[in-house]
Structure 1
């Protein structure tokens, strides 16, 4: 998608995208839609998007919506022109509890970090917390080598890429040089003995979580269906009766069977491919197990059609293949397929293996969609509306235990370690993880802190000193999960935690080498430059002890530093805007 945007902008063309976000999970689709809309308007280019996902319309904020009906000859159900699309994107606001968060600031780290509010996953697993706690270490050090990963039972895949100018520019942010070798350690997957005999298995996870790699490595290549474009769909089945029955199973009209394959839509093609797999030659008569592996399951379907398909297909499989040696493995990024029917086992790429044969019930928390109600505007052939309401994304900030860092550390751009003195916070959307941030004490004498105590913007409570000692806090680790990036959540998370410390009478400062993070603080009226802002350093100091002993570590590449002090909203007007648009306390 990024390459298409770049090419269309250079050639001054209209960008046309088919099946937009079909292969993405819901929250990734929402964030991608909002970011793409913002980028297209910034470039002032035309774009036509085709999708079956109505949830993303409010995030795209289009100028016109054309809705089509399915069928042999698709009809235009409605045409809607939006006079004034909102160009600011979704409204993101972080909510902070004064009782659960603000009241714990300043307590010793070992006391403040304990909280009755634990992280919940998309699939409920009572053992995930204890497993992560046992494995968690503060000083994790550098990323584990591929040899260590292999010794721990993980499969490591390797490849080598060339290092061009763009790669070297990106590598300048990191402390280690990139030699072109890329490794990925797959999640631990149960062996076939542990899986046992099964009929239906599902590998589910967010976009980009190595689902397809797991399928190929542990089972084999996904099924590939070959078609003869000179023959009709029904002519490819073992019998006409079987073909007609399977058309009903996948929810297609009988006239689809009389079409040639190349005349079918993407959604119709996915369903007739499933029909062919269900009618595959039975190998059990030769004493073999017939394996059928399907990647991107239901990705080309709207969720209502997907629900009916999953229910009917699971029912058909259990009625016709229970007594035969056949195994079906489906790979999908859509968690809702687990709500429609329960397979024999599920492997969640984030939270591990679930043997549904041993569970009374598989708990699946459905994502709460903020949908644009299409039908309320679709009663006329052509209509005009002023605006489409922009969804509000309400995020909740809570203190958490340090082991939660294990769910985020692989996404930090520099390190996987965490200070033992850190206060840790987690950001959620309902029960879905969004981000993580940690802050650590920064204690020293006045001349050792780059704090401007004479600033008119500093609150009196932030100037409290104990003798010649002054207590400050600084940002330690900040991570927004990849599927949530691009909505301005990182800057809001940083502001929220900084405001929590400011309200408790502490000064708070942040230092980063990340350009976008640093440039935001340069522009923001909530942050003030420190004396180290926009400087270049060839050394790094990893601890306060090193600072006092003047011990420095030389960097391979000099780093351009952004360093700021948080001063917060100034005046009644800024405070209202801050609470309305960024962070609210309750």
Structure 2
């Protein structure tokens, strides 16, 4: 089900943990589309398609649903009073009931012009609530924000891991822009700048990126620019952590609970950005 949710743009992990009744209208719209994708009916008619959501969410959700639905080989009829989603759905045919005109052929989706700017942490509060972890800022990190038509849509932070390698995290794509390829384009753009030495160190560095998101991990595996380097299903060794805590307390002359951290299920996958492997 997480794959279906991600495929229609509802890749915001905190949203997965909330009951359906407390979701926003946009989140409910995408959750309903995910259910249709996962059930894979041979034929379906969806009334009032995208009518109750913000128009940006409508266009992104329409495109994400269309892309996923076409993989099912099923047939769908979408009924809507809005014309702005037609190019994003890229339908096989369109019947305009206002004019009676029937049009055939798949329309081309409008281009998305993404601009990437180097920033500080001043933009992070705008994105923070959509990140699945509550963590302090990365030490000595350089932040980047992606904008579409002047609207902030994506955030990431990059810091050095060694003298010759960097690590990226705090990737957030705003919910209304998920499912249209903005996140991966943004991630690739930032990592490519670092690989080419366009960073404050003026040094070419490959970038590591770790994620627990199944949809993003699957997308990175399909891209030739990325190479998977690790896959862990569980957290750190709990027994080792327990011994370390006990040792620290013993040195301080204190006693504490005989427990540790780790051993829990946490499927983290690691990737390295390789860029265009055909380049010399």
What's 1:509 paired with?
A: 208
What's 2:123 paired with?
A: 404
8 Å contact 1:9–1:45 — kept in the other structure? no
What's 1:524 paired with?
A: 223
8 Å contact 2:146–2:153 — kept in the other structure? yes
Q: CA deviation at 1:406?
A: 0.3
Taking CA–CA contacts closer than 8 Å with sequence separation of 6 or more, which of the two structures ends up with the larger relative contact order? Answer: 1
What's 2:235 paired with?
A: 538
What's 2:102 paired with?
A: 79
What's 1:60 paired with?
A: 89
User: Is the counterpart of residue 428 in structure 1 residue 147 in structure 2?
Assistant: yes
Q: TM-score, normalised by structure 2?
A: 0.72
Which protein is bigger by CA-based radius of gyration?
1
Equivalent of 1:29, from 58, 79, 91? 58
Aligned-partner SS, 1:405? helix
Alpha-carbon distance change, 4 to 26 in structure 1, aligned in 2, over 3 angstroms:
closer
8 Å contact 1:428–1:435 — kept in the other structure? yes
What's 1:38 paired with?
A: 67
8 Å contact 2:154–2:173 — kept in the other structure? yes
State the distance in 2 between where 1:520 and 1:41 align.
17
Matches within 5 A, 1:287-302: none
8 Å contact 2:194–2:205 — kept in the other structure? yes
User: Is the counterpart of residue 413 in structure 1 residue 115 in structure 2?
Assistant: no
Deviates most, 9-18 or 424-433: 9-18
Q: CA deviation at 1:521?
A: 2.5
Q: CA deviation at 1:412?
A: 0.5
Aligned-partner SS, 2:113? strand
Q: CA deviation at 1:68?
A: 2.2
Q: CA deviation at 1:503?
A: 0.4
Alpha-carbon distance change, 427 to 8 in structure 1, aligned in 2, over 3 angstroms:
closer
Alpha-carbon distance change, 512 to 389 in structure 1, aligned in 2, over 3 angstroms:
closer
Equivalent of 1:489, from 175, 182, 192? 182
8 Å contact 2:93–2:103 — kept in the other structure? yes
8 Å contact 2:114–2:186 — kept in the other structure? no
* Cα-to-partner distance string for 1:275-319 (whole Å, 9 max, x where unaligned): xxxxxxxxxxxxxxxxxxxxxxxxxxxxxxxxxxxxxxxxxxxxx
Q: CA deviation at 1:7?
A: 5.4
User: Is the counterpart of residue 440 in structure 1 residue 159 in structure 2?
Assistant: yes
Alpha-carbon distance change, 490 to 5 in structure 1, aligned in 2, over 3 angstroms:
closer
Q: TM-score, normalised by structure 1?
A: 0.36
State the distance in 2 between where 1:77 and 1:426 align.
45
Alpha-carbon distance change, 7 to 50 in structure 1, aligned in 2, over 3 angstroms:
closer
Q: CA deviation at 1:34?
A: 0.1
Aligned-partner SS, 2:183? helix
8 Å contact 1:501–1:508 — kept in the other structure? yes
Alpha-carbon distance change, 557 to 395 in structure 1, aligned in 2, over 3 angstroms:
same
State the distance in 2 between where 1:507 and 1:19 align.
47
Alpha-carbon distance change, 429 to 8 in structure 1, aligned in 2, over 3 angstroms:
closer
CA RMSD of aligned residues (A): 2.5
8 Å contact 1:4–1:15 — kept in the other structure? no
Unaligned runs of 5+ in 1: 70-75, 86-387, 444-469, 541-550, 576-586
What's 2:261 paired with?
A: 554
State the distance in 2 between where 1:11 and 1:524 align.
26
State the distance in 1 between where 2:177 and 2:116 align.
15
* Cα-to-partner distance string for 1:388-422 (whole Å, 9 max, x where unaligned): 23211111111122120000010012225322411
State the distance in 1 between where 2:83 and 2:266 align.
44
Alpha-carbon distance change, 471 to 28 in structure 1, aligned in 2, over 3 angstroms:
same
